[in-house]
Amino acid sequence: MIDNLFGIHERALYAAADRVSVLATNLANADTPNYKARDYDFAAVLAGTSEAGGIALTRTHAGHLPPAGGGSLGAELKYRIPYQPSLDGNTVEAPVEQAKFAENAMRFQTSLDFINRRIATLMTAITGQ
């Protein structure tokens, strides 16, 4: 029982924390020509798989930086397909990124609230108060 004390919420916290750096990188590069927006498929991360489709990000040269987030989720960082790509080749759409950022923050807070309530329940059971 102690192995799965917080259920999926522990993994969800790690996923949301890692994803926020990817989304922030996208927003920071909104005006960079030919920058391609990237993201994790959150559902696939929680399911422990990255079979959600999309184009996998690969390093084609040793001098390229590793993907933002470091891949600690065990999931593949994918390119985001834009609704309307810009003429300079940049696929970051600020409203989409901001919405994903807000969604990610809500997922993080929800999982954190669940874990806090679980700890409070356990403390009540232990102390009897």
Residue 127 has pLDDT above 60, yes or no: yes
Query: Which one has a higher pLDDT value, 4 or 53?
Result: 4
Share of the chain above pLDDT 90, in %: 38
- Summarised one tens digit per residue, pLDDT across range 87-121 is 999 999 999 999 999 999 999 999 999 999 989 99
Query: In which band, very low, low, confident or very high, does the pLDDT at 54 lie, cut at 50, 70 and 90?
Result: very low
| DSSP states of 45-79 | HHHT---S-SEE----STTSPPPTTTTTTSS--EE
Sequence-distant (6+) residues with CB within 8 A of 18 are 40, 69, 70, 72, 73
- The total number of structural domains in the chain stands at 1
- H or E segment and range at residue 96: helix 94-127
- Summarised one tens digit per residue, pLDDT across range 66-94 is 554 444 555 678 898 899 878 999 999 99
Share of the chain above pLDDT 70, in %: 71
Helix (H, G, I), strand (E, B) or coil at 124: helix
Per-residue pLDDT, 108: 92
Domain that holds residue 121: 2-127
Residue 28 has pLDDT above 80, yes or no: yes
